[in-house]
C-alpha cells in the first residue's frame, strides 16, 4: 500500500493509533497464551500420544507459513483496518477449534487453520505497527512486541486458573474467544484506515519473499532459534547438565521470559538513541556472551545469568526485523510476510534441532550452536540498515549517526 503516505495524521491521531495497535498485539498474544496452557487437555481429548502431539503441533507453523503471503493481498483489497479487523477475528475465533478435535486428523486440521489465521493477523498488525512507527518517526515496534508478551502472560494466567479448576477447555476457549473477539473488533476501530490508491497494482496472492526480506529474515532466524532453544531447553539444561532442582530449573525459564519482556518494553528508547544496527550488534554480543556462559558454566547461577543475557540480547531483534522489512521496499506487507515466515520456521526447527544435536553429541554442544548463531547477529546486523527512514525520534541525530557508524 504505497499510497498510504498521501494521508497526513495529527500526533494525537497517531498516538491513538499506536495505543490501538498495542492492544491488538496484546489480544493476539492472549490467544496464544490461552491455547498453550490447555495443550495437555487437548491431547487427552483427542487421544493422541506425545509423539503424535509433537507432529500435530507442527501444523500451526505450516498453516502460518502458507497463509502469510495472503495478508498483503487482503490488506490491499479491503484496506488495512478492515483487513486487520477480519483477520484478527478469525484468529480469536480459531482458538475454539483445537479443543473440539476428537482425533489426530481433525486436530491437525484445526491447528492448521489456527496457525493460518494467526500468521495472517500477525502480518497485518506488524505492517500497521511499522506504518505508525514511520509516521511517528520513533521506534515503537519493540514495545508492541512487549505488549504481545504481556498478552501471552494474561492468556496463560487465565488458562492456568481454568486448568486448576478442572474446567473443560471447550468452554474455557469459547469464553476466551468471545471476549477477545469483541475486544479485537472494538480496538481495531482505532487503527489507521489505510487504503491503496486506485492506480496501485495489487500484490500477488502468493509470491516468494524479496531478497531484502531473506537477508533480514536470516537475522530474525538466528534470534528466534536462540529464543526457542532457551524457552524449551533451558530448564532441561539446568536439570540434566548442572544437576539442579526442578524448581530452580523452572525458575530459569521464567527468568529468561521475564528478561525478554522487560527488554522489549525498554527497547524502543535504546533503538531511538543508538539506531537499529548498533542495537542488534550489541545485542548479539550480549547474547553470544550469554551463550558462552551457559556452555562453560560450572554451576546453575552462572548458567542462569547466561540465559538472562541471551534473553536480553535477542529481545528486540525480531521487532526490529519487522520494522526493517516494512521499510525495505515498495511492498511492506510482502516483505513482512517473508520475514514472518522465516521466523516462524525458525521457531518450528529450533526445539527439534537442539534435541537432535543433543542426542548426537550433548546438550552443551547444542547451546554451542546457539552461541554461534548469536555471533551471526553481530556479523549481519548491517542488513537492518534499509533505504527507508531509520526509526528515530527525539534522538534522531544520535540514531542516524549510529546507523552510519554501524
Copy the grid coordinates of residue 385: 540498515
Given this model, what pLDDT does residue 389 score? 46
Angle at 44 between CA 178 and CA 122, to 5 degrees: 40
Q: How far is CA 141 from CA 99, 129, 145, 273, 358, in A?
A: 32, 7, 6, 15, 34
Rounded CA gap, 184 and 378, in Å?
37
Burial (Cβ within 10 Å: 0-12, 13-18, ≥19) of residue 199: exposed
Contact 76, 125 (CB under 8 A): no
pLDDT at 395: 39
In the prediction, which pLDDT does 175 show? Answer: 97
Cα angle: 381, vertex 63, 67; to 5 degrees = 75
Q: Which residues contact 171 (CB under 8 A, 6 or more apart)?
A: none
- pLDDT, mean of each 10-residue run, the chain (406 residues): 57 92 95 88 90 84 86 85 95 96 96 94 92 90 91 87 90 96 96 73 60 86 91 86 86 84 92 93 96 95 94 94 82 80 83 84 93 94 67 38 37
Name residue, grid cell 525495505. Answer: 328
Contacts of 216 by beta carbon, 8 Å cutoff, 6+ apart: 321, 324, 325, 328, 335, 339, 383, 384
Measured between alpha carbons, how far is 358 from 369 in angstroms, rounded to an integer? Answer: 11
Cα→Cα distances 276→144, 184, 199, 328, Å = 16, 30, 34, 14
Residue closest to 338 by CA, chosen among 228, 224, 207, 227 = 207
pLDDT of residue 121: 95
332, 210 Cβ separation under 8 angstroms: no
Annotate 87-149 with DSSP letters as a single string. HHHHHHHHTTHHHH--SHHHHHHHHHHHHHHHHHHHHHHHHHHHHHHHHHTS--HHHHHHHHH
Residue located via cell numbers 546486523: 381
Instruction: Say how far apart CA 12 and CA 14 lie, in whole Å.
Output: 5
Residues 93, 98: Cα–Cα separation, whole Å:
11
- Residues ≥6 apart with Cβ < 8 Å to 186: none
Question: Is residue 280 within 8 Å of residue 293, measured between CB atoms?
Answer: no
Give the number of other Cβ atoms within 10 Å of residue 168's Cβ.
13
- DSSP-assigned states of every residue in 372-391: HHHHHHHHTGGGG--SSPPP
C-alpha cell at 364: 552443551
The owner of cell 537499529 is 276
Q: How far apart are CA 321 and CA 175, in angstroms?
A: 34
Give CA angle at 266 (260, 271), nearest 5°. Answer: 105
User: So what's the pLDDT on residue 205?
Assistant: 57
Query: What pLDDT score does 202 carry?
Result: 59
Q: What share of the chain is helix, strand, coil (3-state, %, to 5)?
A: 80, 0, 20
Query: 10 Å Cβ neighbour count for 354?
Result: 24
Q: Do residues 98 and 114 lie in contact, with contact meaning Cβ atoms separated by under 8 Å?
A: yes
Whether this model's pTM surpasses 0.85: no
Can you tell me whether residue 39 is helix, strand or coil? Answer: helix
Amino acid at each position: 500500500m504505497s499510497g498510504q503516505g498521501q494521508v497526513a495524521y495529527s500526533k494525537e491521531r497517531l498516538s491513538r493509533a499506536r495505543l490501538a495497535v498495542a492492544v491488538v498485539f496484546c489480544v493476539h498474544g492472549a490467544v496464544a497464551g490461552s491455547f498453550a496452557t490447555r495443550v495437555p487437555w487437548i491431547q487427552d481429548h483427542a487421544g493422541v500420544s506425545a509423539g503424535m502431539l509433537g507432529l500435530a503441533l507442527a501444523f500451526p507453523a505450516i498453516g502460518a507459513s502458507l497463509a502469510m503471503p495472503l495478508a498483503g493481498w487482503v490488506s490491499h483489497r479491503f484496506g488495512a483496518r478492515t483487513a486487520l479487523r477480519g483477520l484478527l477475528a478469525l484468529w480469536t475465533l480459531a482458538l475454539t477449534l483445537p479443543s473440539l478435535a476428537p482425533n489426530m486428523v481433525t486436530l491437525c486440521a484445526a491447528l492448521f487453520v489456527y496457525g493460518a489465521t494467526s500468521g495472517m493477523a500477525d502480518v497485518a498488525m506488524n505492517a500497521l505497527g511499522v506504518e505508525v512507527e514511520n509516521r511517528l518517526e520513533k521506534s515503537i515496534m519493540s514495545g508492541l512486541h512487549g505488549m504481545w508478551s504481556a498478552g501471552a502472560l494474561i492468556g496463560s494466567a487465565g488458562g492456568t486458573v481454568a486448568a486448576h479448576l478442572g474446567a473443560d477447555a471447550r468452554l474455557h476457549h469459547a469464553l476466551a474467544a468471545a471476549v477477545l473477539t469483541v475486544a479485537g473488533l472494538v480496538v481495531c476501530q482505532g487503527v489507521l484506515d489505510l487504503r491503496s490508491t486506485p492506480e496501485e497494482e495489487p500484490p500477488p496472492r502468493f509470491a516468494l519473499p524479496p531478497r531484502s526480506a531473506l537477508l533480514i529474515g536470516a537475522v530474525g532466524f538466528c534470534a528466534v532459534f536462540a529464543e526457542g532453544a532457551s524457552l524449551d531447553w533451558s530448564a532441561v539444561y539446568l536439570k540434566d547438565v548442572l544437576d539442579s532442582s526442578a524448581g530452580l530449573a523452572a525458575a530459569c525459564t521464567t527468568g529468561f521470559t521475564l528478561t525478554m519482556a522487560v527488554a522489549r518494553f525498554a527497547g524502543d528508547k535504546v533503538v531511538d538513541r543508538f539506531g537499529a544496527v548498533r542495537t542488534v550488534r550489541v545485542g548479539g554480543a550480549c547474547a553470544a556472551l550469554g551463550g558462552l556462559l551457559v556452555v562453560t558454566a560450572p554451576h546453575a547461577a552462572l548458567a542462569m545469568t547466561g540465559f538472562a543475557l541471551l534473553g536480553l540480547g535477542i529481545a528486540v531483534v525480531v521487532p526490529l526485523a519487522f520494522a526493517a522489512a516494512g521499510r525495505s521496499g515498495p511492498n511492506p506487507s510482502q516483505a513482512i510476510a517473508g520475514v514472518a515466515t522465516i521466523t516462524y520456521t525458525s521457531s518450528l526447527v529450533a526445539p527439534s534441532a537442539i534435541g537432535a544435536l543433543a542426542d548426537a553429541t550433548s546438550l552443551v554442544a547444542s547451546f554451542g550452536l546457539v552461541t554461534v548463531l548469536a555471533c551471526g547477529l553481530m556479523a549481519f546486523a548491517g542488513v537492518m540498515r534499509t533505504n527507508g527512514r531509520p526509526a528515530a525520534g527525539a534522538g534522531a541525530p544520535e540514531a542516524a549517526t549510529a546507523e552510519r557508524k554501524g
